[in-house]
Amino acid sequence: MNVIELDRATVSIGGRDVLRDTSFAIKSGEFIGVLGPNGAGKTTLMRAVLGLIQPRAGAIRVFGRAPQRGDRNIGYLPQVRTVLPDLRIRGRDFIAGSVHGERWGLPLSTAADRAAIDKMLAAVGAGELGDRPLSEMSGGERQRLLLAQALLGEPDLLLLDEPLISLDYRYQEAIIELVRRFARERNITVLFSAHELNQLIGALDRVLYLGNGRAALGTVDEVVTAPVLSQLYGADINVVRADGQIFVLSRGRSVEHADHAHDHGHQHDHGHHHHA
């Protein structure tokens, strides 16, 4: 069964078509890496799947029907995490706030809730964060907490928007492996957006590249080619394969890394820039 289908969908933001007349289908249990230049619509696509943005034309179907806001079957980790709650709040209570759909802050009612949360914290390697206040956590630890939150409802579909931002390289690898294992065991469909293809290559079933109002969904070999990416980037792109890695280059420079630097005004701990 297809979990997500776009049928000649056009999705616009601020009068600009981010996706134009786009069709593709994602099957149950697939791990999809979502890539593409800044402004290509990675976040917009996830918001459309969540029912937060309506297509201007065509249709989007999730689990075979129009997206429904607040769908319990979808776990979501948004990229822009500006709204941090009271930083004195403990990890467990922060997650608890999302369990019953409220925002945060309400302490957990039932022992079953507490057990579910502790199990999820342990699953993302954050068992010891339950009792710590957010103010004493690193960006990477908070990220694990948010991942635990996204996984908590045992969703059938997981939308992870740049979950690797602000994590150092070690943690990035661990998070990818964790999500992949978790998704395989429970047949969860995953959309995982990232700046860098190489980290995800071992985990993905197919890659969805967005850019220039278009989408290309397929295996890495089908999609990550000079002709396809040149169309999506609207620039002359070369794809170079070396040492088991793939480099996406424009005029000899890596477009992925160039993108990353000016995407987020503040610098994060970009562990993955430093490995040779």
pLDDT of residue 270: 37
Q: How confident is the model at residue 119 (pLDDT cuts 50, 70, 90)?
A: confident
The interaxial angle of helices 169-186 and 139-151, nearest 10 deg, is: 10
User: Given CA atoms 21, 51, 43, 265 in this order, what sign does their dihedral have?
Assistant: positive
Distances (CA, A) of 234 to 40, 44, 109, 250: 11, 19, 53, 10
Q: How confident is the model at residue 96 (pLDDT cuts 50, 70, 90)?
A: confident
pLDDT of residue 56: 96
The overall average pLDDT reported for the chain is 84
- The answer to whether residue 263 scores a pLDDT higher than 70 is no
Q: What is the mean pLDDT of the segment spanning 76-105?
A: 66
- The answer to whether residue 271 scores a pLDDT higher than 60 is no
Give the Cα separation of 242 and 258 in Å (integer). Answer: 19
pLDDT of residue 25: 98
pLDDT of residue 82: 55
Q: How is the chain classified by DSSP, letter by letter? A: -EEEEEEEEEEEETTEEEEEEEEEEEETT-EEEEE-STTSSHHHHHHHHTTSS--SEEEEEETTB---TT-TTEEEE-S-------TTSBHHHHHHHHHTSS-S-PPP--HHHHHHHHHHHHHTT-GGGTTSBGGG--HHHHHHHHHHHHHTT--SEEEEESTTTT--HHHHHHHHHHHHHHHHHHT-EEEEE-S-HHHHTTT-SEEEEEETBEEEEE-HHHHSSHHHHHHHHTS-EEEEEETTEEEEEETTEEHHHHHHHHHSSS----GGGS--
**Domain ranges in the chain?**
1-73+155-234, 82-154
Residue pointed to by tokens 């047949």: 187
- The answer to whether residue 154 scores a pLDDT higher than 90 is no
Give the Cα separation of 7 and 24 in Å (integer). Answer: 7
- The answer to whether residue 276 scores a pLDDT higher than 50 is no
Q: Name 250's bridge partners.
A: 237, 253
pLDDT of residue 109: 60
In terms of C-beta density within 10 A (0-12 exposed, 13-18 middle, 19 or more buried), how is residue 21 classed?
Answer: middle
Nearest partner of 4 among 19, 13, 16, judged by Cα: 19
Give the Cα separation of 271 and 116 in Å (integer). Answer: 32
Which CATH number does 1-73+155-234 carry? Answer: 3.40.50.300
Q: How many CB atoms lie within 10 A of CB 162?
A: 20
Name the more confident of 257 and 136: 136
pLDDT of residue 93: 80
Residue pointed to by tokens 């969908």: 9
State percent of the chain over pLDDT 90. Answer: 47
pLDDT digits (tens, 9 = 90+) for 162-204: 988 777 788 888 889 989 998 999 999 999 999 889 999 999 9
Name the more confident of 167 and 229: 229
pLDDT of residue 249: 92
- The answer to whether residue 108 scores a pLDDT higher than 70 is no
CB 210 within 8 A of CB 35: yes
- The answer to whether residue 3 scores a pLDDT higher than 90 is yes
Q: What is the mean pLDDT of the segment spanning 247-251?
A: 90
Kindly report the backbone phi and psi dihedral angles of residue 229, in degrees, each rounded to the nearest multiple of 5, phi listed first: -70, -30
